[in-house]
């Protein structure tokens, strides 16, 4: 019987921090990008900016109280060193402050491209993008820094978490866009909705393709590595304890199905120049599938790392 020291609060933290960091990173990238999104670019960036801070703060709340003595977590801010926990604590703290400030620039009713807050908003976007990537990267580095858990000792894990976070962030923006951008009273936003949706779906398809490649590399690294790491990877291979969840929820529902649906949507415009049209059912179903896969990915990795101790022990 394996003792699971890290359960749902830690898994939820890894997922929520990734979603929030991904949404803010996508928002900042959209805002700073020149051209392509037209009149609705600002609405896309606003959606991501307003989504981002909340999941990160909720995830941080969960991980702090998982420690059992939440006020002791403040000790991590009393000194700065190169330990993963110290770096991660400061990274999260700074990102939460920056993302909140960034989100506030979108709240005034007069907020829009070229308004008086535009220079501040763009400056915060330049800072939030690298910090968002850093938070997403840290969630993988935190696990990889534990040599006693061979399943987590892969240099590819951090890249997998970053791509998953960015894809989850895009998924949240697409999903909430159905309820906010699609129903916007601004005619310029409604008119350009299809263009911005095409760019979001195309970006997400590229992220999912990259994530599939990284999953393949993750599996190959485990297969080609001898000793404890290869032994630990058996947990997600056919016949393993978590194989059904990994191949069913993570790979099939969370990656393959959304990837091919989004390819089917964007290829006609990308290759043949045909008009892109969104489908509400897909705008809801595909992001939900991606978010389910993102949560399942963290669940599988966290649990697999704890049920597969070094084979020599």
How far apart CA 177 and CA 185 sit, in angstroms, is 13
pLDDT for position 250: 96
Per-residue pLDDT of the chain (313 residues; tens, 9 = 90+): 455 677 888 899 999 999 999 999 999 999 988 654 455 788 889 999 999 999 999 988 887 776 665 555 555 555 556 666 667 777 888 999 999 999 999 999 888 888 889 899 999 999 999 999 999 988 888 777 666 677 887 778 889 999 999 999 999 999 988 887 666 666 666 667 777 888 899 999 999 999 999 999 988 887 776 656 666 777 888 888 888 999 999 999 999 999 999 999 998 888 887 878 888 899 999 999 999 999 999 999 988 888 876 644 4
pLDDT for position 36: 44
CATH number of 8-307: 1.20.1630.10
Q: How far is CA 251 from CA 29, 34, 304, in A?
A: 27, 34, 16
How far apart CA 201 and CA 253 sit, in angstroms, is 17
Q: Where are the domains of the chain?
A: 8-307
How far apart CA 255 and CA 69 sit, in angstroms, is 38
Count of beta carbons in the 10 Å neighbourhood of residue 224: 9
How far apart CA 28 and CA 128 sit, in angstroms, is 7
């Amino acid at each position: 019987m394996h003792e699971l020291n890290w359960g749902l609060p830690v898994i939820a933290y890894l997922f929520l921090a990734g979603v929030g960091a991904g949404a803010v990173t996508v928002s900042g990238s959209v805002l700073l990008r020149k051209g392509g999104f037209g009149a609705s670019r600002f609405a896309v960036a606003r959606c991501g900016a307003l989504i981002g801070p909340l999941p990160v703060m909720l995830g941080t709340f969960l991980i702090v109280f998982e420690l059992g003595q939440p006020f002791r977590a403040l000790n991590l801010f009393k000194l700065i060193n190169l330990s993963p926990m110290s770096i991660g604590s400061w990274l999260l703290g700074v990102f939460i402050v920056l993302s909140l400030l960034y989100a506030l620039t979108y709240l005034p009713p007069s907020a829009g491209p070229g308004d008086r807050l535009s220079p501040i908003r763009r400056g915060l976007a330049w800072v939030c993008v690298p910090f968002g990537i850093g938070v997403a990267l840290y969630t993988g580095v935190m696990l990889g820094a534990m040599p006693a858990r061979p399943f987590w000792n892969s240099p590819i894990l951090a890249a997998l978490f970053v791509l998953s976070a960015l894809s989850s962030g895009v998924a949240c923006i697409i999903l909430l866009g159905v309820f906010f951008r699609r129903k916007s009273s601004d005619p310029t936003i409604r008119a350009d909705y299809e263009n911005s949706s095409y760019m979001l779906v195309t970006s997400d398809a590229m992220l999912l393709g990259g994530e599939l490649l990284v999953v393949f590399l993750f599996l190959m690294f485990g297969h080609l590595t001898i000793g404890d790491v290869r032994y630990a990877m058996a947990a997600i291979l056919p016949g393993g304890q978590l194989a059904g969840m990994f191949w069913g929820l993570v790979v099939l529902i969370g990656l393959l199905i959304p990837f091919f649906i989004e390819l089917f949507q964007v290829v006609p415009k990308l290759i043949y120049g045909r008009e892109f049209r969104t489908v509400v059912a897909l705008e809801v179903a595909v992001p939900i599938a991606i978010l389910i896969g993102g949560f399942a990915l963290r669940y599988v990795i966290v649990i697999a790392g704890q049920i597969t101790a070094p084979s020599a022990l």
